[in-house]
Structure 1
Amino acid sequence: MHFNISMIFPLILCLMLPSAFAQPTTGPAAVTGKSIVFIATNMRIGGIKDVQESFAEAAEKLKWQVQVIDCAGKKNNAVKAMESAVHAKTDGIVLGGFDGADHRDLVKKAQKMGIKIVGWHAAAQPGPNQYMFVNITTEPESVAQSAAEQIAHYGAKEGGVILLTDRDYSMATAKTLALKRAVEKMRKFKVLTVVDLPLSQSDQKIMNMVKSWNQRFGSSWTHTVGINDLYFDHMARALRAVDREDIVGIGAGDGSSDAILRVTEQESPQLVTVAEPLRTQGWQLADELNRAFAGQNPSGYQTELIVVSKRNLNGLNPDNVEANIPYRQAYLKIWFPKGSVK
C-alpha cells in the first residue's frame, strides 16, 4: 500500500470552524482562589510558551494565582520544581511538556495530598491516566499521518526523509514511530535515518549535523520532518551553508507562532507546520483543572490539529490561526453562566 496524491485531500490549511467546534458546552462554574504551579520543560519551545501564556490568561479570569517555573530542558530542574510545588501544597500543578511518568513518585505524593494535576504533552496519548487528571494533546498518529502526507506535496517527488526526534519524551517517540510507518508506506520515499536530537541542544548541534547529513546522503536527502518546530529555528542558516536550500522542512508538532510565521513569510525551507490549537489548549487546561477542583470528571474534549502550509494561505493571519475557534466565549459561558466575569 502506498500514498497516492489523488487520494490525499488538500491539506492547504485545515482550520476548525465554529460549526465543527465540539468543545464542551456544560461544566462546573468557576472554582476561584486557587494557587497553581505551571512547570514548563523548556520555555524556548514555542508551543509550551504559547500554551502557558494562554493558560495564564484563562487563570486570570478564574482568579487563580499562577507561578511559572521554566526547567530549561533539564530533568533535575523538573524534579526540583515538582518538589517545590508539593512542599508548598499548591492546589494544582500543570505538567508542561514533560512526562508525568518520569516523576511518578512525586506525582503520586502530590495526588495523595489532594493536589490536582493536569498535563500538556505530558504523556504519549491524550486523556486521563494514572499520573494526571487529564493529558492534553492531539493524537500522535494523526499528527504523523498529516505530516507524512505533506511530503508528497512539497519538494522532490521522490527521495529520502530524515526524521528528528527527542527520545526524552514519550509523545515524541510515539509520533516518530508513527511517522516512520507512514513514510515507509510511501512508494517513492524512504526513511534515511531517525536522529535523536534533544530539543534543548538543537540550536547548538544543527549546523554540524546538517553538514554531516549532506555528506552522508547527498541528493538522496530531500525532506526533513521534526517532531517539533524548534528544530527548524536554525535550519535555514545550516542549509544555506551547504547550499541545500532545496531540502523541505515539515514540522510535526506544536505549531509555534515562530513556525507559523516562517511558513507564512515564505522565506524558509520549512514549508509546513502541523500545528495544534495552542491557545485553545491553554484554556482547556484551565477548564479541566477547574473540573478537577469541582470534583467532576474530565470533559472528554480533544482538539483537532491544524495544518498550515505554504501552498495557499488564503489570507491567514499568522498571529492567530485560531481566530475561528470561539474557545474564550465557550469557556467563559461555562465558568460564569450568569455573565459576571470581568
Structure 2
Amino acid sequence: MNIPTRRLLALVGAGLAFSLAACTTSTGAGSDGSASAAASDYKLPAAAQTVLDEAMKAPTWTPPKTSPKAAKGKFVVSIPCAEAAVGCARPGDAFLRAAKALGWRTQLIDPAGDPKKTQAALKQALQLGANGVWMPGGTVEAVGTDLLQQMRKAGVAMFTLGGRSQSLGPSAWSGIMNNDYGLSSPALAAYVAKDSGGKAKVLMVNDSEFPDVANGVKVFESKLGEYCPSCKISQRLDFSITDISTTLPSRVKAILQAHPDINYIYAPYDFAATQMSTALAQAGLAGKVKMVGADGNPQNIQAIKDGTQTVSYARPSELMGWVVADQMNRLFNGQPTINDAAGFQTEDYPTQLLDKSNLPTDVAKPWDAGIDYQSDFKKLWGVG
C-alpha cells in the first residue's frame, strides 16, 4: 500500500467529558517500563523505516477520470463540528467554495461543538429544504438514527467526515469520507521511535469522543510498542473538544511539571497541538518536549518551522471539501459515488509526514501537496 495515499474523511464533533488518568503504562516488554534493549543500541526496525520513508515522500494525486456536469438549482449546507476548530472549518469552508463554483446556493450552520446544537442544525437544514449536507466533524452516534432516517427519507445527500471506526456505516449516510487517524499513527510512531533513539517517554493525549481519533491513539500505542520496546507511554490525558482553549493547556502544563521525564506529546489532532504548544511555552519546554500530530493545518506547519511542533501528518483538508462536492454532484445527477469495497468514498487524497526537512516553501498556505485540484474539478464539472 502506498502510505501517502489516503481514503476520504476525520471526524471531529463535540462532548463535555474531561478525564485525566495519571497512570504509567509501558508499551514494551516489562510492565515496570524497563527497556528491553539498551537505548544506545536502538535501531528502527526495517519495516518501521519503510513506513516512515513512504510517509515522508512527496505524494501524488490523480483526479477522477470522469464526473457529471454541475447539477442545477441545488442548495447545500455545511455543519462543521465547530467553525472555531480548524480541522473542521477547513474542509467545511472548502466545500462551500466548491459548491459555489458548481452554482449551488450554500449556507453554513455552526453548532460550536455542542451535540444538541448539531442535531438542531441538521433539523434546520431539513426544514430549509437542503438538497445536501456536509458534516465535517461530529460522531455518527451523536446525530441519532431517527434523524438520519428522516434525512434519507427526504432525499438529502448527506456526507460526514469520519472513518472505519464509526459504528454506523454508509447505509446510514450517503457517504462517509474516510479520515481515520489510525492511518497516520504508524508513521508517527516510527518517527518518535527513531527521533528519540529508543528513549521516548510519551504523554498520550486523546479526545475519545471521536472514534477515529481514539483509534489513532490505540494504533499509535500499539505501533510504538512494536517499533520501540524501550519507549513507553508515561502519562495519559483525555479531554473534550470544548476544553481545548480553556482547561487543556493548563492540564498539560501540570502534567509536564509533575513528570519532567516526558519528552514527547502525542496530539490527537493538530488543533489540539496548537493549544498545547502554549503549555509548552509557559513551562519553558518549547523545543525540549517534542509534539507530534496530524492534519497539517497552516498554524502547525508554521509551528514546525518555528520549532514548537516537531512533526505533523498533513492532509489536504480543502481538497476533501471539493471531493465531497464532487461526490454529492454525482448523487444529484443520479450517478453512484466512487466507493471502495467497504462502502467508503475513495477519491484518494494525498498525505505526507512533514518535519523541518520537507516543509513546503509557503508555510502559511494550507497544505495541498502542490496540486491544482480546483482546476481539475472545475474542468470535470464544466464550470471553468
Give the TM bin, normalised by the shorter chain. 0.7 to 0.9
Give the structure 2 partner of residue 242 of structure 1: 283
**Residues 32-86 of structure 1: per-residue CA shift (max 9 Å, x gap):** 2211111111112212221122112211111111111111111111011011112
- TM normalised by structure 1 equals 0.88
**1:1-342 correspondence to structure 2 within 5 Å:** 4-5=43-44, 7=46, 8-9=49-50, 10=53, 13-17=56-60, 21-103=61-143, 104-121=145-162, 124=165, 129-155=170-196, 157-185=198-226, 186-219=228-261, 221-245=262-286, 246-252=288-294, 254-263=295-304, 265-268=305-308, 270-300=309-339, 301=346, 302-313=348-359, 315=361, 317-336=363-382, 341-342=383-384
Cα deviation per residue 1:152-209 (whole Å; 9 max; x = unaligned)? 3435640311221212111112212111211222222112233211122122113321
Distance 1:271 1:152, change over 3 A: same
Distance, in Å, in 1 between the alignment partners of 2:369 and 2:182 is 25
- Structure 1 contact 101–131 (Cα < 8 Å) conserved: no
Are the counterparts in 2 of residues 12 and 312 from structure 1 also a CA contact under 8 Å?
no
Task: Measure, in 2, the Cα distance between the counterparts of 1:273 and 1:134.
Answer: 27
Aligned to 2:301, the other structure's residue is in SS state helix
User: Larger deviation: 27-36 or 303-312?
Assistant: 303-312
Q: 2:19 corresponds to which residue? A: none
For 1:211 and 1:329, the matched residues in 2 are separated by 45
% identity of equivalent residues: 21
Cα distance, 1:4 vs. partner?
4.2
- The amino acid of 2:375's aligned partner reads Q
1:71-115, CA deviations, whole angstroms, 9 ceiling, x for partnerless residues? 111111101101111222211111121122321211111101111
Amino acid in structure 2 at the alignment position of 1:15: A
| Residue pair 1:46, 1:257 contacting (<8 A) in 2 also | no
Higher mean displacement: 318-327 or 66-75: 318-327
Contact persistence 2:75–2:131 (CA under 8 A) = yes
**Is the deviation greater in 146-155 or in 313-322?**
313-322
Deviates more, 1:299-308 or 1:275-284: 299-308
TM-score calculated relative to the size of structure 2: 0.79
CA deviation profile, 1:202-257 (whole Å, cap 9, x unmatched): 221133212331244321x11111111122223233123333331100013x2222
Unaligned runs of 5+ in 1: none
The alpha-carbon deviation at position 15 of structure 1 amounts to 3.3
Partner of 2:32: none
Contact (CA 8 Å) 1:16, 1:324: kept in 2 or not? no
User: 2: distance between equivalents of 1:173 and 1:291?
Assistant: 32
How many angstroms apart in 2 are the aligned matches of 1:131 and 1:123?
14
Amino acid at match of 2:248: I
User: Structure 1 residue 278: deviation in Å?
Assistant: 1.0
Residues in 2 aligned to 1:110 and 1:214: alpha-carbon distance in whole angstroms:
46
Answer yes or no: is the 8 Å Cα contact 1:24–1:299 preserved in 2: no
- Runs of 4+ displaced beyond 4 Å: 1-4
Structure with the largest fraction of strand: 1
Distance (Å, rounded) in 2 between the aligned partners of 1:59 and 1:123: 26
Residues of 1 paired with 2:274 and 2:182: CA distance? 24
The secondary structure found in structure 2 opposite 1:67 is: strand
After superposition, the CA RMSD in angstroms is 2.6
> How far apart are the structure 2 equivalents of 1:281 and 1:38?
13
Does structure 2 conserve the Cα–Cα contact (< 8 Å) formed by 1:287 and 1:331? yes
How far apart are residue 12 of structure 1 and its match? 8.0
Once residues 110 and 194 of structure 2 are traced to their aligned partners in structure 1, the CA distance between those partners, rounded to angstroms, is: 37
Amino acid at match of 1:331: F
Worse-matched range after superposition: 311-320 or 100-109: 311-320
Find the aligned partners of 2:62 and 2:43 in 1 and give their Cα distance. 31
Counterpart contact for 2:302–2:364, Cα < 8 Å? yes
What secondary structure does 1:234 align onto? helix
CA contact (8 A) 2:59 2:369 kept: no
Q: Per the alignment, do residues 251 and 148 of structure 1 end up closer, same or farther by CA in structure 2, a change over 3 Å counting? A: same
3-state SS of 1:307 partner: strand
Cα distance in 2 for partners of 1:93, 1:171 equals: 21
CA contact 2:76–2:132 (8 Å) conserved in 1 = yes
